[in-house]
Chains A and B, each alone.
Chain A
Amino acid sequence: MSKREKSQSLLDPAILKPALLGSLTKLDPRELVKNPVMFTVEMVALAATVLTVRDVVTGVAGSGFQIQIVVWLWITVLFATFAEAVAEGRGKAQADTLRRMRSETMAKVLLGVGDTFEPRRAHTLKVGEKVLVEAGDLVPGDGEIIEGVATIDESAITGESAPVIREAGGDRSAVTGGTRVLSDRIKVRITAEEGSSFLDRMIALVEGAARQKTPNELALSVLLAGLTLIFVLAVVTIPSFATYAGGAVSVVVLIALFVALIPTTIGALLSAIGIAGMNRLVRFNVLATSGRAVEAAGDVDTLLLDKTGTITLGNRHATRFIPVTGVTEDEVAQVAQLASLADETPEGRSIVVLAKEKYGLRGVDVAELHARFVPFTAQTRMSGVDHEGAVIRKGAIESVIEHARSLGITPPVDEVTRIATTVAKEGGTPLGVSRNGRILGVVYLKDIVKGGIRERFAELRAMGIRTVMITGDNPQTAAAIAAEAGVDDFLAQATPEAKLHLIREEQAKGKLVAMCGDGTNDAPALAQADVGVAMQTGTNAAREAGNMVDLDSDPTKLIEIVAIGKQLLMTRGALTTFSIANDVAKYFAIIPAMFIAFYPQLGVLNVMGLATPQSAILSAIIFNALIIVALIPLALRGVQYRPSGAAALLRRNLLVYGIGGLVVPFVGIKLIDVVVAAAGLA
């Protein structure tokens, strides 16, 4: 995980203190009404309080037991608000740091003539205004560089201390408000107003202020409200039934039964789970524009991954020298080394390294050679040196052949092409090497597939997610790398249009697609994808189009994002199942206790052997409250998640949370009963 992550203990006083306060303010019914289950508990707790006060005043016997029930009812509500407050508290600290950064920035607003500007407070900036940012200045707002290049310290946002380069044009033109320019000067066109900027969104996100119920959360709330209604029916009809049987049940006991039955555990933890899920993502240095996107990540069926940087290391390495007929491998190595001595690209350096390690050719200083270095250009697509009259070149096969022809030499086109094709089929990139136009051989540049990536893809496959590699390579190379990396499919010679088309095609088949991208030309595809993760280093267009931004600009993270989304849904499901399964034991505690006065035969149902009817009811309600607190860490951490198929996951979770939910309360209520009875509370 990211470097910024710290283990945040539940008992950290910095979080605990405001959370305790927050749990009280959240008791406000106007706020609590958003949570139908806990709102219901609060209302019946209120009713129980009124009844108990009346009973105490009129001196009804047994009000000591009633008072205890009422106290535990309030504790149940408090535990629920506490859980939410703790979850929010964990985001607050982060938000405060961010907010400090936003406050006192001055902007140098360009007046449109040369570099003249007027200083103005950053929050007055309008979209479309242009500002000048010089070394040492804070970038006043989100924007696009229109002129210049600068190194920028983005650590405030990304947590990454190494400065990054941002320049006008291309895919690295976006700057974020609150970051600091370290060197040079840039002109920036503002693209977001104060309040809707990236920083603002981030603050809102980590604070949970902009939190809306996600689709699944909404559906779950409806379900829980429905179950609550069913239990209203089950409980309000009991007095009539009891009357028929010639007995009576006190209202406070009925309230206790009702609260024990309705799904308070999940009701109390539902919003905490949502906030914690979002925070997990933020701690992973990913910002989602909505909770909906996080949930969608859990549903993803197809992942589109860029080859370079995600599946392979960014750089290719030379692994072999292949001579043409009549040339030795050593000769190719020697010439290739010479051609690459001044080449500072990773590919070039890897050729020198290979020549040294495998062929024992020592590196020579270019300056000593008195050679003239010929750099790579887009026109020639070659680089090399002119050394002692010899013209040494390396480059794309077609270019080297062209180069030979231009020098009046007939190159062995068939042989060279054959070698090149073989290399491409194996997933490599062929590089021709020539001296004075004579093609000596081919350097085999190999794409290095990242370590462990194959296993990741196998995990994804087990989870039912198909991976598609996107690459600009030709189909042969793409196929070879795809096979090596273990992706399910690939899109070779990909253009933005082809990407968009692929996404649409997958979606038409009923699949949800996730992808990541950085360039402006990725924007349509990012917008079309169900989960689009834009890189922080990317353009503003890309950042706006996606529904998540990765601050570390690490495309591999898509896999973690999917896992976080799944974990969020699983946690909700697990606690719902647990909550409902708990009811069985609570019934066995309360039903005999409630009816035993007029139907002693029902004492048989007291399978737990609870001491007295009062202690049984009290123990059930205490268990009901304590289980909320006991599960807060699980709600915040999320249930354990191992990538595997749905059937295996379900079997395991049903076993743990379903069967566990049946068994745990039997044990828990019995233990509490022992304590309650020993302490003489009931």
Chain B
Amino acid sequence: MTLNGWAQIALFCGLVLLLTRPLGGYLDNVMAGRRTLLSPVLRPVERGFYRLAGIDPSEEQSWWVYARAMVVFHIVGFAFLYFLLRLQDLLPLNPQGMSAVAPDLAGNTAVSFLTNTNWQSYGGETTMSYLSQMAGLSVQNFLSAATGIALAVALVRGFARAESKGIGNFWADMVRVTLYVLLPFCLLLTVFYVWQGVPQNLSSYVEATTVEGAKQTIAQGPVASQLAIKMLGTNGGGFFNANSAHPYENPTALSNLVQMLSIFAIGAALTNLFGRAVGDERQGWAILAAMSVLFLAGVVVCYWAEAGGNPLIGALGVDNAAGNMEGKEVRFGAPLSALFAVITTAASCGAVNAMLDSFMPLGGMVPLINMLLGEIIIGGVGAGLYGMLLFAVLAIFLAGLMVGRTPEYVGKKIEAREVKFTMLAILCVPLAVLGFTALASVVPAGLAGPANAGPHGFSEILYAYTSAAANNGSAFGGLTANTVFYNGTLAVAMMVGRFAIIIPMLAVAGALAAKRKAAASAGTFPTHGPLFVGLLVGAVLIVGGLTFLPALALGPIVEHFALLAGTLF
């Protein structure tokens, strides 16, 4: 570990903290429909959309109507994307002449982009036409991110409102997020990435002859625009197969920093929006603090594991000073690869700038744990906040009784109904992860997937389903996932991980919104101090840890001890 490495990590954290408050304020204004800097330009456009769709943005929807609108929207989105992929060979903007995407892969990909997972069972530059990338995948990148933010704001309204039937209007929320937040920021980021050397064209691929005389095909395309939303919307689906390790998708240290920042920016800002909405910004900072504790712990462990390098390779006389460099880009090195890996899995992004499969066992376990905990460390845009708030409800209920009152969180009493739906939502990730991993580790179709033997192979399967159920989308690598079995089961895992959380979460929002707001007193459990932060972190770790410890013990943990004993897999 080096001072330089730590300085870069510190710089990143500092910049995120600086962005949180101003961006949170902006998001708050946008979602409440208040006037913002961009209103003079965008308000007429916004109104135009409402008129076109015949929507009254001020009409409040109950949680059930809100959920229904969301589901309908996703069914239509799925059909559109699926058929676009199936028919891409007949459609324009296909200079490389890509053939139609196979049904199981098209289905898997459609679900993947719809659920903000961006699990990719395919290589982008060898599978997708430009039309599919731009009109299909990029569009869903925007919409799935907007959905996440809209849902988080709906839950926040549940906490903020009192004796209210509605939790907002799904259509208005979607329009506002996309129009005022995602589009303008992506425009700026695209220009920035182009400056950094990321291509943005519709040209066919370039054939080149290397110095050694070998033929090389250099892929092209509208990369910068897709890269912008891939990061900002925590989607993570790379234009190229190598994702952000590809020099065209992440050319410089500066582009790397901006990519990392844009992964965390909205997620962190939403905690501030929560604080503002409930009338006490400290509540937001407490949530962010809990996320930060978990994040920093992950960064420290991962950086430590990667910077130490593989002792068995060191024993062969190889210089290990740069750390474990297998599968890493030299321009990023161990610290930025470790940091990126922790960020991308903490935030449900799933973009990678190094190959996780080549991480040390404990280094690779950190991303795995980040996802297993339910993507609540900053998390996917919106999804992270609502996931963490559900954990807050749980933590408050577990320990809140100990102050001798009905547990309350930001003035809302937590009662049977909220506990029921929260448990339902929290159950989903273990159900999908453990269920499918158990299935894949015994059926032949599943056993055909992993490239490695023993616990490492097990980790590959576990990681795939974890990534899918947590809607992360990052790949551990090593697993041959483009099969009917994996495409199918992973798609189901992605849907469970998204919708089976969202719907109970909205039910919680509805139940909370209907409650009256209790006044705070010295007898109320204070939820803005270090005690609460510690409690929240403890609840997340204990619930997550207890659920997944057996699986982890048989994967990365046993691999780590085996490695120490001199066995590799």
**Interface residues in chain A, defined as those with a beta carbon under 8 Å from any beta carbon in chain B:** 215-216, 218-220, 222-223, 225-227, 229-231, 233-245, 261, 295, 298-299, 301, 461-466, 509-512, 565-567, 569-570, 572-574, 576-577, 580-581, 583-584, 587, 591, 594-595, 599, 601-602, 604-605, 641, 645-647, 649-651, 653-654, 657-658
Contact = CB atoms under 8 A, between A and B. Distances in A.
Contact of B402 (A223, A573, A645): A573
Given A245-B455, A641-B404, A238 B550 contact: yes
Interface stretch (B138-146, B330-338, B411-419): B411-419
B472 interface: no
Contact of A222 (B419, B538, B551, B554): B419
Interface stretch (B199-207, B213-221, B540-548): B540-548
Contacts of A225: 423
B522 interface: yes
B414 A219 contact: yes
B522 A462 contact: yes
A560 B418 CA distance: 30
A594 B551 CA distance: 12
B558 A602 contact: yes
Contact of A510 (B431, B519, B523, B529): B519
Given A222-B420, A234-B434, A587-B549, A650 B542 contact: no
Contacts of B557: 602, 605
Given A230-B430, A605-B553, A237 B420 contact: no
A645 B416 contact: no
Given A240-B442, A584-B542, A602-B558, A216 B406 contact: yes
Interface stretch (B95-103, B114-122, B186-194, B392-400): B392-400
Given A215-B416, A301-B521, A464-B522, A234 B546 contact: yes
A524 to B, nearest CB: 21
B458 to A, nearest CB: 6
A227 B551 CA distance: 17
A230 B547 contact: yes
Contacts of B397: 219-220, 223
Closest 4 CB pairs of A and B: A464-B523, A573-B401, A226-B423, A566-B404
B94 interface: no
B402 A241 contact: no
A605 B552 CA distance: 13
Contacts of B524: 464, 646
A650 B395 CA distance: 13
B465 to A, nearest CB: 11
A572 to B, nearest CB: 5
A388 B307 CA distance: 110
Contacts of A604: 561
A237 B435 contact: yes
Given A572-B401, A654-B399, 12 more contacts: A220-B401, A223-B397, A233-B427, A234-B434, A240-B441, A241-B551, A242-B554, A244-B457, A461-B522, A463-B523, A510-B162, A573-B402
Contacts of B458: 241, 244-245
Given A573-B401, A583-B546, A219 B415 contact: yes
B405 interface: yes
Contacts of A651: 531
Nearest to A652: B402
Contacts of B162: 510
B553 A219 contact: no
B441 A576 contact: no
A223, A225, A605, A654: most-surrounded residue (chain B CB, <10 A): A223
A190 to B, nearest CB: 38
Contact of B404 (A298, A591, A601, A654): A298
Contact of B405 (A237, A299, A462, A658): A299
Contacts of A242: 554
B549 A591 contact: yes
B516 to A, nearest CB: 6
A650 B526 CA distance: 10
Contacts of A654: 399, 402, 531, 535
B518 A646 contact: no
A271 B266 CA distance: 45
B271 interface: no
Contacts of A226: 419-420, 423-424, 426-427
A24 B46 CA distance: 69
B78 interface: no
B401 A576 contact: yes
B404 A565 contact: yes
Given A220-B401, A233-B434, A650 B531 contact: yes
A658 B431 contact: no
B484 to A, nearest CB: 20
A587 B162 CA distance: 42
Nearest to B416: A219
Interface in B453-473: 454-455, 457-458
Given A215-B415, A583-B542, A229 B401 contact: no
B555 to A, nearest CB: 9
7 contacts: A216-B406, A231-B546, A233-B431, A234-B549, A244-B447, A510-B517, A604-B561
B399 A650 contact: yes
B529 A658 contact: no
Contacts of B426: 226, 230
Contacts of B523: 301, 463-465, 645-646
B560 to A, nearest CB: 8
Contacts of B420: 219, 222, 226
Interface in B434-460: 434-435, 437-439, 441-442, 447, 454-455, 457-458
B171 interface: no
Given A220-B401, A572-B401, A646 B522 contact: yes
Given A245-B458, A602-B558, A658-B538, A570 B401 contact: yes
Given A215-B406, A299-B405, A569-B406, A241 B398 contact: no
A650 B403 contact: yes
Given A219-B416, A237-B551, A646-B525, A576 B423 contact: no
B318 interface: no
Nearest to A213: B416
A536 to B, nearest CB: 27
Contacts of A591: 549-550, 553
Contacts of B455: 245, 599
A634 to B, nearest CB: 14
Nearest to A602: B558
Contact of B398 (A580, A587, A605): A580
A489 to B, nearest CB: 14
B439 to A, nearest CB: 7
B550 A569 contact: no
Given A219-B397, A573-B399, A658-B538, A301 B519 contact: yes
A680 to B, nearest CB: 29
B310 to A, nearest CB: 17
A510 B414 contact: no
A240 B554 contact: no
B562 interface: yes
Contacts of B549: 234, 587, 591
Contact of B403 (A218, A233, A646, A657): A646
Contacts of B411: 510
Contacts of B427: 226, 229-230, 233
A601 B554 contact: no
A60 B154 CA distance: 58
B399 A237 contact: no
Contacts of A650: 399, 402-403, 525, 531, 535
A219 B414 CA distance: 8
Q: Counting chain A CB atoms within 10 Å of each CB, which of B403, B418, B424, B546 scores highest?
A: B403
A316 B551 CA distance: 74
B553 A576 contact: no
B565 interface: yes
A448 B300 CA distance: 65
A244 B558 contact: no
Most buried by A among B398, B402, B565: B402
